[in-house]
Amino acid sequence: MKQVYNFNAGPAALPRQVLKKAKEEFLDFQDTGISIMEHSHRGKHYEEVHEEAKNLLKELLSIPDQYEVLFLQGGASLQFAMIPMNFMKPGEQSGYILTGSWSEKALKEADKFGDVKDIVSGKASNYASIPDLPSFSPEEYSYVHLTSNNTIYGTQWASFDGIDHPFLIADMSSDILSRRIPIDKFGLIYAGAQKNLGPAGVTVVIFRKDAAERANEGLPAILSYETHIKNRSLYNTPPTFSIYLLKLVLEWAKNLGGLEELEKRNQEKAQLIYEAIDQSSGFYSGHAARDSRSLMNITFTLKNEELTKQFLKEAHEQGFYGLAGHRSIGGCRASAYNAVPLEACQALRDFMENFQKKHD
């Protein structure tokens, strides 16, 4: 098989062992004679997968008992809409912290349902850093929304120490399960699975149970969090195969040593690439300010468009996939999610050094 280093931004690399296990079980799930995809979502075999995936996530992320874990569909994008639908009320205002295009999109959806304020925006600095927060009182906003990792710009909240609100909501699509997080700071966390958790098709929502009391009534059942809590994410047919793969990824993460180990590896991996940027005397230039650098998405540019094209071309020829920056900003981006091995980042660092020697 061809040697490939997968730096795709999402859908992204999955652990090899997980794919092998899924392949082994593909035609015959646990001696049942059929695949997991063909089992009823109400049957014993799928039920076990569903509950195990939930329990593993609770264990790995140390999710306290007062939280529910939900498996929904519609991606993080549906959460942009479900959050205001469920939690915005007439006469109240919700607050959004803008750190990139995804937070902008979240705000835009909320704006359709009521009064929304951008508490602070990093747009003026081209979203190169996580902006300092102005002080605000909890009563000002019914909830406050942030994006913990900005997939497109390559910035990340280094810590959540400076932000407090009784109903803090975070889009953690591109850094969930990559580092330890204080879950109890948040009322709701959501993440599309397709970066660190598994394949596309399932969205994880971590929901503090008391938030259900705040939710608006009269919504279509499928769009109400309450429906999914009451039905343990089995209100309608869930994406069973995606949840099965999520379970395998979580087992893999647990066997590796859990969150602490993943965090350590992710720091080591990102550091290799940031070093290649920092030691290049400006041949490569990082987009993110140092104190806001993402461990997941490492964004950089080369001197000009032509050199960038050449870099991406040669990289692709040598098996580096997914290094083109997001279509909205261009440049280059290496996404080093959990399943990207250290060797891939070492190989990329070597490639970057060699490319510079050749073209500087």
| Distance of alpha carbon 110 from alpha carbon 114, whole angstroms | 7
Q: Is 195 a catalytic residue?
A: yes
Provide the minimum distance between the beta carbon of 172 and ligand PMP in the complex, in angstroms, as a whole number: 8
What are the CA-CA distances from residue 32 to residues 21, 38, 74, 243 (Å)? 16, 10, 30, 19
- Of 307, 320, 313, which Cα lies nearest the Cα of 359? 307
171 catalytic residue (yes or no): yes
* Of residues 151 and 280, the one with the C-beta less far from ligand PMP: 151
> Parallel, antiparallel, or unpaired for β 149-150 and 285-286?
unpaired
The active-site residue out of 54, 157, 175, 195 is: 195
Quote the least distance from Cβ 72 to ligand PMP, whole Å: 11
Q: Is 252 a catalytic residue?
A: no
230-235's contacts with Cβ under 8 Å and 24+ in sequence apart are 232/50, 233/50, 233/70, 233/71, 233/72, 234/41, 234/42, 234/50
Contact 319, 333 (CB under 8 A): no
In Å, how far are 78, 179, 241, 302, 353 from 280, measured between CA atoms? 41, 28, 44, 11, 8
Please report whether residue 77 would count as binding ligand PMP according to CB under 6 A.
Answer: yes
Quick check: 335 binds ligand PMP (CB under 6 A)? no
Site map (CB under 6 A) of ligand PMP, residues 80-109, x = contact: ----------------------x-------
| Positions 149 through 168 that interact with ligand PMP (CB under 6 A) | 151
Q: Is 149 annotated as a binding residue?
A: no
Contacts with ligand PMP: how many residues (CB under 6 A)? Answer: 11
As measured in angstroms, the least distance from the Cβ of 125 to ligand PMP is 19
**Counting contacts by CB under 6 A, is residue 147 touching ligand PMP?**
yes
Q: At what angle do helices 240-256 and 258-278 cross, to 10 degrees?
A: 80
Q: Which of 54, 58, 102, 157 is catalytic?
A: 102
Among 6, 155, 173, 242, indicate the residue that binds ligand PMP (CB under 6 A).
173
Residues that bind ligand PMP (CB under 6 A): 10, 75-77, 102, 147, 151, 171, 173-174, 192
